[in-house]
Amino acid sequence: FPKEEDIRKQWLAFCGINEHVLNTVTKLCANHFREEDMIKKVKRSYIKPNTVPSIYRKKTKRSLQFDSFNNKIYSKKKKEYIATDGVNVDCNILIKAQRAIKIARDTIARQRRKIKTLQQCRNRLVTRITTLKSLVKHLEQKNLLTELAVEHLMTEIPDIMNEILKRKKGSKKKYAPELRSFALTLNFYSSKAYNYVRKKFRNLLPESSTIHKWYSVLNGRPGFTNEVLHTLKCKVRKMEDPIFCNLVIDEIGIREQIEYDGNRYYGYVDLGVNSNTTNVDNPLPARNALVFMLVALNNHWKVPLGYFLINLLDGKERASLLEKSLELIHEAGVILHSLTFDGNRVNITMCTNLGANFHVGYILNPITKEKIFCFLDPCHAIKLVRNTLGDKLILRYNEKQIYWANIVSLQNLQETEGLKAATKLTKKHIIALFCLMFNDAFDLLKVRTKFNKKKCKMALTNDNFNELKSYAVNILEYIKQLGTSTESILVSQRNTGFLGFIICLTNMFDLFNILKEKGLTYLLTYKLNQDHLETFFGALRSRGGFNDNPSSKQFETSYKRLLVRHEIEASDKGNCLINDVQILYVSSEKKEAMACSQKWMM
């Protein structure tokens, strides 16, 4: 069969077979080609280039037809035979019957051989699955795989075994997605374990060089990742509906370690503009990686736009990076009207430099001049509220006191009794009202499903918009009346968490009003949280046994591998719930005709 993809597809369509049926010795008879398509030589003939078979010869099937000589129904009584001297026997009927019996016996024998072959395949599959599971357990005992890695790989084993059995050694066809995903996952956790498994399964898994080739399609250096932006553009072109996204910004701590691999240095501050640190007299070591991530609001994926290795980055410099990211997102065709970050002061300064503050909770897109609403991560905001009450010990609401000691006493009671106390607190208890208000505010900002029995956990739609907004206004009025013994909580030094809830509860309704006019039917506020980026950080740390502080080189390697199709998950011991939102992976089938080594200039 020809190697050219177009001609090969025409041959397969003519024969009525699929790609996986072919092997290295599959051939097509010359009787299916016309004489003018052949080049005749002395000893043999050849097919002209780019020739497609055109003569279809139907197979002749052997069949027997029995003529009905009469329609008479014979009785069950035994016939009486009369001996005579004459002979009158129809030999033609006996020949046809013998021939039919022979064909039936051949068919039965052929089906029995087929059943036996299928049973052998099934037994081999069961044996292979048992062997692979025991092999993965053996790798765990040898400390080549972590417990979480073993759990993830075990779930993939049934899917990949069919692909391993179908695939013959030396086959040139593409690896199936299940087999590719298993190989990338195992290689991500441990290259030694991957080589061991590959050797045990007679090299049916891809070579390590093949996996490196899949990764080489990505540049992966600090800065905005060009391949991700190109993938976003392709995604927008393929989608019939517009794509709405939320931009999440956060940092991950990295180890201050300088490394040299023979080509370049790793570990210095790098904003993606000029990674050649030899041109700087005193380069600073990087302490954090600032990551930008897009989360789809009306789809089920997320993708990191890029990252920057930083030491100390002030609000003005972060604002410059944010403006550049907004320009690139607009060029990709993605609709963006929201931004999420934690309550770090430098992030608030970043938004202040772009025109936002605690009274104006949005910035303007530098290209379209449309509103981009700012959201403080509710998990971080609720921690700030808790810490404020724990440090102040007493807050006031309508001249009534909210005591932190009440919460401490309740926790001590639960610990001493060894169970959760079913305390019957009502709204008359001032501490209960405080907990109820912030609990419902947190639920409004963490909606994960479209439908729920509880009002505060329902997705925001046109039907419940007025009801939820009315309840949110009650929560806002409650927060505004909180204070210390001397001043309002909103003007104190510990106001970030309280103002964060006010901004988020206000902006979520304004955001939905804009997005519903552009086609969004409901809003899951969980998409506006930092959990999606936190789980991405957890997956980054999982390489090498959950390293809390990877070096910059380890970070870059893991970053590239997570952008290729994988089944890596974060640890369930982290500070946020594991979500099933997948990373929008970058295809490694072929490199695009763009300069992957160049960074987007800021």
Encode pLDDT of 290-332 as tens digits: 999 999 999 888 999 999 999 888 888 899 999 999 999 999 9
Task: Tell me whether strands 265-266 and 259-260 are parallel, antiparallel or unpaired.
Answer: antiparallel
Phi/psi-derived region of residue 267, left when phi > 0, alpha when psi is between -120 and 50, beta in every other case: left
Non-local CB neighbours of 110 within 8 Å, separated by 6+ positions: none
- Rounded Cα distance between 270 and 330, Å, is 24
pLDDT over 70 (residue 601)? no
Range of weakest confidence among 13-22, 452-461, 567-576: 567-576
pLDDT at 25: 72
pLDDT at 87: 47
Non-local CB neighbours of 405 within 8 Å, separated by 6+ positions: 393
More confident position, 408 or 490: 490
Encode pLDDT of 527-540 as tens digits: 999 999 998 888 88
Reported as a pLDDT band with limits 50, 70 and 90, residue 245 is very high
Please report the DSSP string for 117-153 in residue order: HHHHHHHHHHHHHHHHHHHHHHHHHTTSS-HHHHHHH
Q: How many CA atoms lie within 13 A of 554 on its CB side?
A: 24
Mean confidence (pLDDT) of the chain: 77
For residues 185 and 146, is the Cβ–Cβ distance under 8 A? no
CA-derived radius of gyration, the chain = 35
Encode pLDDT of 342-388 as tens digits: 988 899 999 999 988 878 899 999 999 999 999 999 999 999 998 88
- First and final C-alpha spacing in the chain: 50
pLDDT over 60 (residue 187)? yes
CA angle 181, 187, 190 (to 5 degrees): 145
pTM for this entry: 0.64
pLDDT over 80 (residue 249)? yes
pLDDT at 306: 92
More confident position, 210 or 109: 109
pLDDT over 50 (residue 86)? no
Write down the domain spans for the chain.
5-47, 159-216, 223-377+529-594, 379-523
For residues 217 and 210, is the Cβ–Cβ distance under 8 A? no
Phi/psi-derived region of residue 172, left when phi > 0, alpha when psi is between -120 and 50, beta in every other case: alpha
More confident position, 146 or 391: 391
More confident position, 133 or 558: 558
pLDDT at 26: 78
pLDDT over 60 (residue 449)? yes
More confident position, 24 or 438: 438
* Tokens linked to 147: 């417990």
Q: Mean pLDDT throughout 472-491?
A: 89
Which CA distances in Å does 87 have to 69, 83, 93? 19, 10, 16
| CA 365 remoteness from chain centre | 28
Enter the DSSP assignment of 393. -
Task: Tell me whether strands 335-341 and 362-364 are parallel, antiparallel or unpaired.
Answer: unpaired
Reported as a pLDDT band with limits 50, 70 and 90, residue 484 is confident
Range of weakest confidence among 59-63, 391-395, 548-552: 59-63
Please report the DSSP string for 411-446 in residue order: HHHHHHHTS-------TTSHHHHHHHHHHHHHHHT-
Range of weakest confidence among 2-16, 49-63, 427-441, 456-470: 49-63
- Rounded Cα distance between 213 and 37, Å, is 39
pLDDT at 21: 74
pLDDT over 50 (residue 589)? no
pLDDT over 50 (residue 598)? no
More confident position, 23 or 212: 23
* Tokens linked to 597: 């080594």
Q: Mean pLDDT throughout 422-432?
A: 56
pLDDT over 50 (residue 594)? no
